[in-house]
């Protein structure tokens, strides 16, 4: 079984699905001959040609608007937004058009557009190349929001997303694009959208995370385990739809919850998780819910390591919550 990083896993998924289904097309800035700024589409132009791997102008609203039109006429477009920070010019197309076609047409039309975009910090990209805007899209009915943390999930979730009939925001954690490696089966398989994964079983506290933060939390768990703490780690994998039963089952077992994500704390996705737990597992809690997040500031350049939740910050939250 080959060992891939996330970039290779995404590339393999796109290649498999483009070979399997001639309706699948890729479009975006530099995705063609250049192979994408992170090389996620490398080699696709040479195999499938310029009619299926389309270089576009630097116009995100145009990229997504074009993809919506393609989907309505029977294609399966997979547009790439080069950095999640640049998705905002296309926000109206995504939340007012793409997310609503199935509903507004009474189910007559679907819009199977899978928007791939790298997100998050960790590459010293400053405040225009490091944002985590997942909460904006998780707030939008009609969308699915998927965030893999490792190569196996990246390939399987992307294949599942493309084969669906609903629009998907597929956010890829660029900090671990090449750092996260793992065995990935050759050929075809899917990972179901809407199912979380227990990364580490534990009995004292549930730690909820996704994307690159999963690796930070695993490192934190290794630190505290040496002192006798026993956290359970849940990789959400999908924010919308959320695997609520996996979250609640774990929290009811451990009686405690720590939530970790890179985005700012105020109205971040962790707030939704905290509300869910408070509404449906309050009587099982033995300590307050704790969020370990980015700060409520623009993403800094020189203070990137201070902004991003570190293993030390997560470890402290685990210790404090268990000791409460």
The answer to whether the 3-183 and 197-323 domains have the same CATH topology is: yes
Check if 127 is active-site: no
Q: What is the mean pLDDT of residues 288-297?
A: 97
CA triple 308-260-301, angle to 5 deg: 15
Instruction: Give the model's pLDDT for residue 239.
Output: 98
What's the whole-number mean pLDDT along residues 68-95?
97
Confidence of residue 285 (pLDDT cuts 50, 70, 90): very high
pLDDT tens digits, one per residue of 190-222: 999 999 999 999 999 999 999 999 999 999 999
Q: Which two tokens stand for residue 305?
A: 């390591």
pTM of the model: 0.97
Ordered by start, the domain boundaries in the chain are 3-183, 197-323
Which CATH number does 3-183 carry?
3.40.50.970
The pLDDT assigned to 302 comes to 87
Given this model, what pLDDT does residue 316 score? 98
Q: What is the pLDDT of residues 73-85, one digit of tens each?
A: 999 999 999 999 9
Distance CA 308, CA 234 (A): 19
| pLDDT (0 to 100) of residue 158 | 98
Average of per-residue pLDDT across 83-91:
97
Please tell me the predicted confidence (pLDDT) of residue 127. 87
Q: What is the pLDDT of residue 91?
A: 98
pLDDT, average across residues 68-72 = 96
Res. 223 pLDDT band, cuts 50 70 90: very high
As a whole number, the mean pLDDT across the chain is 97
Query: In whole angstroms, how far apart are CA 46 and each of 16, 35, 42, 49?
Result: 15, 10, 9, 6
**How big is the chain, counted in residues?**
324
Q: Above pLDDT 90, what percent of the chain?
A: 97
State the average pLDDT over residues 234-256: 98
Q: Does domain 197-323 have CATH number 3.40.50.300?
A: no
- 208 vs 20, 24, 105, 236, 303, CA distance in Å? 35, 34, 36, 7, 25
Q: Residue 148 above 90 pLDDT?
A: yes
Instruction: State the average pLDDT over residues 29-48.
Output: 96
Which among 129, 139, 215, 261 is annotated as catalytic? 129
Residue 270 pLDDT level (bands cut at 50, 70, 90): very high
Rounded-to-integer distance, Cα 24 and Cα 2, Å: 25
């Amino acid at each position: 079984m080959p060992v891939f990083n996330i970039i290779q896993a995404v590339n393999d998924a796109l290649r498999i699905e483009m070979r399997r289904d001639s309706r699948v097309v890729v479009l975006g800035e530099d995705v063609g001959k250049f192979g994408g700024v992170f090389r996620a589409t490398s080699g696709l132009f040479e195999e499938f040609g310029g009619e299926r791997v389309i270089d576009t102008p630097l116009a995100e609203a145009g990229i997504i608007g074009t993809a919506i039109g393609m989907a309505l006429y029977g294609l399966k477009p997979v547009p790439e937004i080069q950095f999640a920070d640049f998705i905002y010019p296309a926000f109206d197309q995504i939340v007012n058009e793409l997310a609503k076609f199935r509903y507004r047409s009474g189910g007559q039309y679907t819009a199977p557009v899978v928007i791939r975009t790298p997100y998050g910090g960790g590459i010293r990209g400053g405040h225009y190349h490091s944002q985590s805007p997942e909460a904006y899209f998780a707030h939008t009915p009609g969308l699915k929001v998927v965030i893999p943390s490792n190569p196996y999930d990246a390939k399987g979730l992307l294949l599942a997303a493309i084969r669906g009939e609903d629009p998907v925001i597929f956010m890829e954690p660029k900090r671990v694009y090449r750092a996260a490696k793992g065995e990935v089966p050759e050929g075809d398989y899917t990972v179901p959208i809407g199912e979380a994964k227990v990364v580490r079983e534990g009995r004292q506290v549930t730690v909820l995370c996704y994307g690159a933060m999963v690796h930070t939390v695993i490192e934190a768990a290794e630190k505290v385990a040496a002192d006798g703490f026993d956290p359970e780690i849940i990789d959400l994998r999908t924010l919308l739809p959320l695997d609520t039963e996996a979250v609640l089952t774990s929290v009811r077992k451990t009686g405690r919850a720590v939530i970790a994500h890179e985005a700012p704390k105020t109205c971040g996705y962790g707030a939704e998780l905290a509300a869910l737990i408070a509404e449906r597992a309050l009587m099982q809690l033995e300590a307050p819910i704790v969020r370990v997040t980015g700060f409520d500031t623009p993403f800094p350049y020189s203070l990137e390591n201070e902004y991003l939740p570190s293993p030390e910050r997560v470890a402290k939250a685990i210790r404090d919550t268990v000791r409460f």
